[in-house]
Structure 1
């Protein structure tokens, strides 16, 4: 028979089936070297994009937008993800950990629900791996493997026009080095959202499963006896209270994360 965990003091632990995804996003981003790389990448692309927009506005040259638009807009999106990673991801992690400390372990539910959670977790991890592979392949097309990069990146055009060949080469290498970092930031933000939504969904599975089996250890007692059994009534009251509190925690987590995400807007 499945065992169900109604202990109000139960804590979130390392048995999270999406733990690897949490470490990739909310833990990895806190490493100082990665933070420095993100900051450097942010300022490089911010300056290049500002110069690009300034030249468009000052010259009204539509070719600058048509030619470099396909790479401009993904790079702008990358800047937005870096802002989230640097300014809001730590706050989001704090909200999650505060919620985790008061939630059930995801394997404390019945076997069917636990299997469902593990199955969906494996599917999500598989999609993350595929997405990472595709992103790695995409990066190859953004790196200097073609001779016409001057027609793809505004920054490369600017370097070749304003600097000597040697300095242009140095700046180009630094610029290309930021592209994988930009893709990393995009992936981290996406994976972080995947994790948050999946964790909330799995905890909802747990609450529903526990509510469904809230009186599983009273199955051998007649209904009319349970109605008059004070011990049963107290137990049901306590378990329902715990489930409601857990649901409130999830809703509070959702509200807090939404406030963090929409702060810039």
Structure 2
């Protein structure tokens, strides 16, 4: 069969419509950072207290800065929505690019759970802004522990799965620059190691490292990941017949 020009033309996989990944990454990162910055400014420079700190300081913070805590919860809950959309979109993008390995599903699972953990943390935090809750110190401690466990360890560990779910197929399939993909794997490793925070309070230092580098990586990945993947069809050359073979068959 003789190859035609159309056979030799690059074949592009059909691109499924979806929101731009890079913009989604920017939106949820800005909303998340705004929750930290705005609440800190409203609280006069005081940051959200660590659950490992003294009880008196923790209770004083929530009693004195209820508005800041409420705004922080609102903005972080808002950030969880575009994060979930990002996870769904990047999973569909990878499958559209021909990725059939578990990476796309791992990324989707990690992203959805990271979004859910962030939303839960935001709601626990918002509850801490209610005056009636602050009358019960035991309830305040319980809610703060839940806010930290979900928005800290829980969110970051699953954020690492989202990063790994993009980085691994992005590296193996050549969809992302190799150094960038390897950096994503390193970030994912730190994120998974932050699980130790539940046993060792000193491991909490891993949380901001994995969180902020992970957010920056996801924004960059959203702009770098291609929408289409070019390949060429398998074209076999047309068989040729020598003059001697023609004489023998005639």
- Structure having the higher helix fraction is 1
Q: TM-score under structure 2 normalisation?
A: 0.34
* Relative contact order, higher structure (CA 8 A, sep 6+): 1
Q: TM-score under structure 1 normalisation?
A: 0.32
